[in-house]
Homo-oligomer: A and B are copies of this chain.
Amino acid sequence: MTPAELAATIDHTILKPEAMAKDVDKVATEALEYKFASVCISPPYVQQVAQKLAGSGVKTCTVIGFPNGTHTPTIKAIEATSTVKHGADEIDIVSFLPNLLALNFEAARDELMEIVRAARAVRNDVVIKVIVESAALVSINKDRAEETIALACRAVRESGCDFIKTSTGFHPAGGAGLEVVGWMKKYGGAAIKVKASGGIRDYATAMKMIEAGADRLGVSASVAIVNEAKTGVAATKPAGGY
């Protein structure tokens, strides 16, 4: 995989609640230079980023019900339609975790379908990813971990979403794990793709996630990772954040 191919798998991400407009602008500038897949920002910054990226091929990605997922399906649906109207090409929805933890397939699928129908009514080709906070799921449901991830994959698939995504990067249970990425590939099948996110801060980890089956990476340390892919030299300090 060339550095350019690696860059094209990365959603260049800034989601911390204290991110200012100038921080977001810097991330968008980097994305244009490195040709990342997208810039992933909070809803209040969607218009700013969509205007800057217009015509570049770099997509505008945002997050819905982020990071805890603890909003009603209707509020998430309204946030989804609103951000798509404001210019989001891709939306990453945080699932309501209790549905998944209880292995309640219908509730998990129905929540997603309400949001998906609303978003696709605005724009049919919006790319939809579903964050399932997998490290929390497998640590809490530790005796039924694989079953829980399989059920999450089925809910994502049957609701017509495009990706299952491992993590928000904000949960204390942690981010992407290689075993979980493998399960997502196995149970998602050909119908959905896998986005690994949370704790991917260097080139070696990024490549391991791709080898485990990730199609997309959610990363803040994107510039350092692609520079390491180009030069073989790691950044002197590990990059912080998401």
Q: A: which residues have CB within 8 A of B? A: 15, 17-21, 42-44, 66-72, 74-75, 78-79, 82, 96-98, 101-102, 133, 136, 140, 170-171
Contacts and interface: CB of A to CB of B under 8 A. Distances in A.
Given A18-B136, A98-B20, A70 B44 contact: yes
A217 B133 CA distance: 29
Q: Can you tell how many copies of this chain the complex includes?
A: 2
Contact of A136 (B17, B67, B72, B79): B17
B82 A140 contact: no
Nearest to A67: B68
A97 B45 CA distance: 13
Nearest to A70: B42
Given A97-B17, A101-B18, A101-B20, A75 B69 contact: no
B68 A140 contact: no
A98 B18 contact: yes
Residue with the greatest number of chain B CB neighbours at <10 A, chosen from A68, A78, A102: A68
A4 to B, nearest CB: 31
Contact of A75 (B18, B68, B78): B78
A71 B79 contact: yes
3 shortest interchain CB distances as A-B pairs: A42-B70, A17-B68, A20-B98
Given A17-B136, A18-B136, A140-B18, A72 B43 contact: yes
